[in-house]
Chains A and B, each alone.
Chain A
């Protein structure tokens, strides 16, 4: 019988009704756990449970038909979010086809959609996020201003470092130098 993993240290949890908001200080990421995954996280942290025991306990707490599928999916979600400590167990990620099959089986038992284990993850931006993002080819002074996430060497929101921004000078170089590809009146990038 495969041992169950533990929970990684350094996680800060905020229970919000049946969901849990988890902050991972190592990666500056925030996760929202659905009720099922939140329940599994609690039980793993308690320790001392077997797979069968957790599956049975989940059925009681969530008021569903017992199924190992809940635990398997929840572990898979926690693993993908990197919230588990699996130094003593060998992780076995669910293949996509196995995951889809498990979800289908759980749905057939009448499990509500909100009980299907899911973890939503948000990676925090390292700097100040732009209030209103600039579109491609707009002038810029920092990456965070651009919807595309890159402010190039010419001060244009563009992935290409050679592109000049809207309103930039294209005298003598033509539209090819412009992010938009158009040099108006042979002087100004459209």
Chain B
């Protein structure tokens, strides 16, 4: 959605933004210009000009002692800096959509597309999903998502969730595993023409394992291991339980799955290129 289609904003007013996922919108209301700009930047390709099917709302409002964050529940956060609050609020957007769509299997994965087929890049925090997804976009792939991949339960199809990718900034030294989550992060704007806005058939899944100094190795997983890893990376298993296990087994039978062990994202990307 090009930003020029959105209305200009008076910085002194409480404003609303409408973030859309699969035809439904979440209303984000805030009276803080910095918060407004943050959401505009991070959800640029998911913003729409109006609400046609609301799934709920999220408010970030200034109060006397700090901010109030209201979504599924209200939480007053006195004197917490906005820069600390906004990532939480951003994640609340994902959670709101997940609550509204328990029919989907939400995988902790990025998703990129080329030639009409999507590859999912799955793994826990710090394994390089966002970094690899953005590097692949530089090589002509299109982005569906960098961190969460909603997959249908009745088809091998992934839906786009194209929030702005955010990747960790390498500190220029070896990082201990317990330091990874605390690394500074930077948003990586992606041009609109590199964003895929409609569902795409899944062609394969890659489970990532980043190890400093490791040489790149892309290996095929057994179907059993693939299904197990899918369930390990399913963020809403609670919505599906035995049906989620059935679906993971089904996907494991239908889709090729790989493990990518790597120490250098730039060295790893050509290996991923071969998958589509």
Q: Residues of A at under 8 Å CB distance from B? A: 12, 14, 16-21, 23, 25, 28, 30, 32-33, 120, 122, 124-136, 138-141, 145, 147, 155, 165-169, 188
Contacts and interface: CB of A to CB of B under 8 A. Distances in A.
B182 A128 contact: no
B55 interface: no
B253 interface: yes
Contacts of B115: none
Nearest to A12: B242
Interface of B: 69, 73, 75, 77-81, 83-85, 87-88, 91-92, 94-95, 98-99, 108, 124-125, 147-148, 181-182, 222-225, 227-228, 231-232, 234-238, 241-242, 245-246, 248-249, 252-253
Given A16-B227, A130-B91, A155-B80, A21 B181 contact: no
B235 A128 contact: yes
Given A16-B249, A122-B232, A125-B237, A165 B80 contact: yes
Given A125-B238, A130-B91, A135-B181, A155 B77 contact: yes
Given A129-B108, A167-B85, 20 more contacts: A12-B246, A16-B252, A16-B253, A19-B225, A21-B248, A25-B241, A25-B242, A32-B225, A125-B235, A127-B238, A130-B91, A131-B94, A132-B125, A134-B88, A139-B84, A139-B85, A141-B92, A147-B125, A165-B80, A168-B80
A145 to B, nearest CB: 7
A127 B237 CA distance: 8
Given A16-B252, A32-B224, A128-B98, A23 B80 contact: no
A138 B237 CA distance: 25
Contacts of B181: 133-135, 147
B90 to A, nearest CB: 10
A136 B178 CA distance: 10
A126 B249 CA distance: 21
A183 to B, nearest CB: 12
Residue among B80, B81, B83, B231 with max Cβ neighbours from chain A (10 Å): B80
A23 B91 contact: no
A139 B80 contact: yes
A40 B73 CA distance: 49
A23 B241 contact: yes
A69 to B, nearest CB: 22
B88 A139 contact: yes
A19 B223 contact: yes
